[in-house]
């Protein structure tokens, strides 16, 4: 009943058409659009098609931020788009997108599409009917009008269309007003839209953190109750979405937002473990803080680094277990790393290509302890020294490694040859050291830096 009423209201809005705002109402100038996106929209318009810059780019420009990428939406079909651009190709099977290239740049061009009519009943059967194996909506799979294309998007600020020819913003759902009020508001009935695609709950937390917006109370209300629906989303899609959040440059706020919405459990198995343990939490926050700072300074941050952070304590626990089984130190380390990565992969399906870097970050932590003889010099030429040292700095910040050690490595890297020679510590009997550590009680051992590598 309520649903029908809402659909009716939405229908009316559709009939009324979009608000079309001229330049002085939104301030987005044509020159602010990426030249490759302009080339695409200009070409499409010349051929008589509708062509808009859409989604995140319009939102970000409206907010005075720099867009991450420029997407274009049009009423031309994938084949028609493909024919207009020599350097383009169609990707995707279920719903085709065209990638248009200009030099190294890439623009995603999508044909307007509509959501299929809303499902009448609620309950478990419906979701499986509309959700494909990768958790994306099958119902998204039909071409539609620009109005329909706007209505199938998630939040009002994500449903703005910019026409570069006329420098107009087309706003069908009040996105411009919401951007001014800094409100993240779901288009349509929030509970219905979250049920259609539960990942939108994570997106709500991500955008609220990234844009520093409030989630509109009506949008927020159903999340607590529906959070459990994330369990049916394939692990690979959850992983991708969480990496977007953790590598957004606003991860600290994003994780806080997840907790506030009751979404932090069951999204990433390792996040559960971390958020339930105060000492791990401290490390996580140091890691997120550091990564946010790096990204905002335009430095790189990789999923592998983030995974190494998230799984660090699991690896340490596993390492203690392997040591307890009497394995040689080196084998204990390698078996522990493999065990932890394989266990997580079963839960999360993250790509194997990250394993190499994760293992390097972990195994170098022990090698940082060796500060005499030729060993520290050998580390200097390690291709991943910088990332591994960043990891050590995060450990030091959260009390998991000695600050003195982390600082020593900062200085050692900057020093010249003579200074380095002076910095070296006197050689120690490594056998004796190892025996001493072996006798240490497990509780004490885990609270200190491990001797690994």
**Minimum distance between the CB of residue 233 and ligand ATP, rounded to whole angstroms?**
11
Give the CA distances from residue 375 to residues 231, 357, 379, 417, in Å, rounded to whole numbers and listed in that order.
47, 20, 7, 14
| Closest to 269 in 3D by CA, of 337, 202, 343 | 343
Alpha-carbon dihedral 35, 41, 45, 50, rounded to 10 degrees: -160
Q: Please, are residues 158 and 6 in contact by the beta-carbon 8 Å criterion?
A: no
Closest CB to ligand ATP among residues 57, 315: 57
397 binds, among ligand ATP, Mg ion, none (CB under 5 to 8 A by kind): none
Closest CB to ligand ATP among residues 208, 379: 208
Subset of residues 42 to 81 that bind Mg ion, contact rule: CB under 5 A: 56
**Minimum distance between the CB of residue 159 and ligand ATP, rounded to whole angstroms?**
6
**Minimum distance between the CB of residue 160 and Mg ion, rounded to whole angstroms?**
13
Is residue 272 annotated as part of the catalytic site, yes or no?
no
- Report d(CA 386, CA 262) in Å as an integer: 35
Q: Is the dihedral of CA 301, 259, 285, 348 positive or negative?
A: negative
Is residue 277 annotated as part of the catalytic site, yes or no?
no
Q: Which residues of 398-416 are buried (b: 16+ CB within 10 A; e: fewer)?
A: bebbbeeebebbeebeeee
Closest CB to Mg ion among residues 3, 244: 244
Binding interface with ligand ATP (CB under 6 A): 55-56, 68, 153-154, 158-159, 197, 199-200
Residue 249 near Mg ion by CB under 5 A: no
Is residue 79 annotated as part of the catalytic site, yes or no?
no
**Minimum distance between the CB of residue 196 and ligand ATP, rounded to whole angstroms?**
8
| Closest to 349 in 3D by CA, of 107, 151, 135 | 135
158 binds, among Mg ion, ligand ATP, none (CB under 5 to 8 A by kind): ligand ATP
Give the helix/strand (H/E) hosting 73: strand 71-74
Catalytic residue among 75, 140, 149, 154: 154
288 binds, among ligand ATP, Mg ion, none (CB under 5 to 8 A by kind): none
Closest CB to Mg ion among residues 59, 316: 59
254 binds, among ligand ATP, Mg ion, none (CB under 5 to 8 A by kind): none
- Total of chain residues touching Mg ion, rule CB under 5 A: 1
- Report d(CA 287, CA 292) in Å as an integer: 9
Strand partners, 108: 71, 99
- Tell me how many degrees the CA angle 280-284-289 measures, rounded to the nearest 5: 150
Closest CB to ligand ATP among residues 184, 286: 184
**Minimum distance between the CB of residue 32 and ligand ATP, rounded to whole angstroms?**
15
Q: In angstroms, how far is CA 323 from the centroid of its own chain? A: 35
199 binds, among Mg ion, ligand ATP, none (CB under 5 to 8 A by kind): ligand ATP
Q: Tell me which residues are annotated as active site.
A: 69, 71, 154
Residues that bind Mg ion (CB under 5 A): 56
């Amino acid at each position: 009943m309520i649903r029908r009423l809402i659909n009716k209201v939405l229908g009316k809005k559709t009939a009324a058409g979009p608000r079309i705002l001229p330049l002085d109402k939104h301030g987005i100038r044509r020159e602010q659009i990426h030249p490759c996106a302009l080339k695409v929209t200009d070409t499409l318009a010349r051929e008589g098609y509708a062509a808009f810059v859409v989604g995140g780019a319009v939102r970000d420009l409206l907010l005075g931020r720099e867009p991450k990428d420029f997407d274009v939406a049009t009423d031309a079909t994938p084949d028609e788009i493909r024919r207009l651009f020599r350097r383009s190709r169609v990707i995707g099977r279920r719903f085709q997108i065209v990638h248009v290239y200009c030099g190294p740049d890439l623009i995603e061009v999508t044909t307007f599409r509509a959501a299929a009519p809303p499902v009448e009943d609620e309950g478990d059967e419906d979701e499986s009917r509309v959700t494909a194996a990768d958790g994306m909506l099958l119902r998204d799979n039909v071409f539609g009008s620009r109005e329909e294309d706007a209505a199938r998007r998630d939040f009002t600020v994500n449903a703005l269309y910019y026409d570069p020819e006329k420098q107009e913003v087309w706003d069908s759902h009040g996105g411009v007003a919401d951007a001014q009020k800094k409100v993240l508001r779901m288009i349509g009935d929030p509970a219905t839209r979250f049920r259609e695609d539960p990942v939108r709950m994570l997106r709500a937390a991500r955008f609220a953190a990234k844009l520093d917006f409030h989630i509109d109370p009506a949008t927020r209300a159903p999340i607590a109750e529906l959070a459990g629906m994330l369990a049916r989303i394939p692990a690979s899609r959850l992983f991708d979405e969480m990496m977007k959040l953790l590598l957004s440059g606003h991860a600290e706020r994003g994780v806080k937002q997840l907790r506030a919405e009751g979404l932090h459990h069951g999204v990433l198995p390792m996040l559960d473990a971390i958020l339930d343990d105060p000492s791990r939490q401290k490390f996580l926050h140091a890691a997120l803080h550091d990564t946010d700072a790096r990204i905002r300074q335009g430095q790189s941050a990789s999923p592998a680094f983030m995974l190494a952070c998230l799984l660090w304590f699991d690896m340490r626990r596993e390492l203690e277990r392997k040591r307890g089984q009497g394995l040689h130190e080196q084998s204990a380390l390698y078996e522990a790393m493999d065990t932890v990565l394989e266990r997580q992969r079963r839960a999360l399906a993250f790509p194997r290509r990250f394993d190499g870097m994760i293992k390097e970050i972990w195994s170098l932590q022990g090698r940082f302890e060796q500060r005499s003889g030729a060993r520290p010099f050998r580390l200097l030429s390690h291709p991943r020294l910088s990332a591994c040292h960043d990891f050590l700095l995060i450990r030091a910040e959260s009390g998991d490694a000695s600050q003195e050690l982390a600082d020593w490595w900062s200085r050692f890297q900057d020093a010249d040859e003579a200074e380095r020679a002076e910095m070296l510590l006197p050689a120690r009997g490594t056998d004796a050291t190892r025996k001493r550590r072996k006798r240490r009680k497990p509780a004490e051992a885990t609270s200190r830096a491990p001797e690994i590598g």
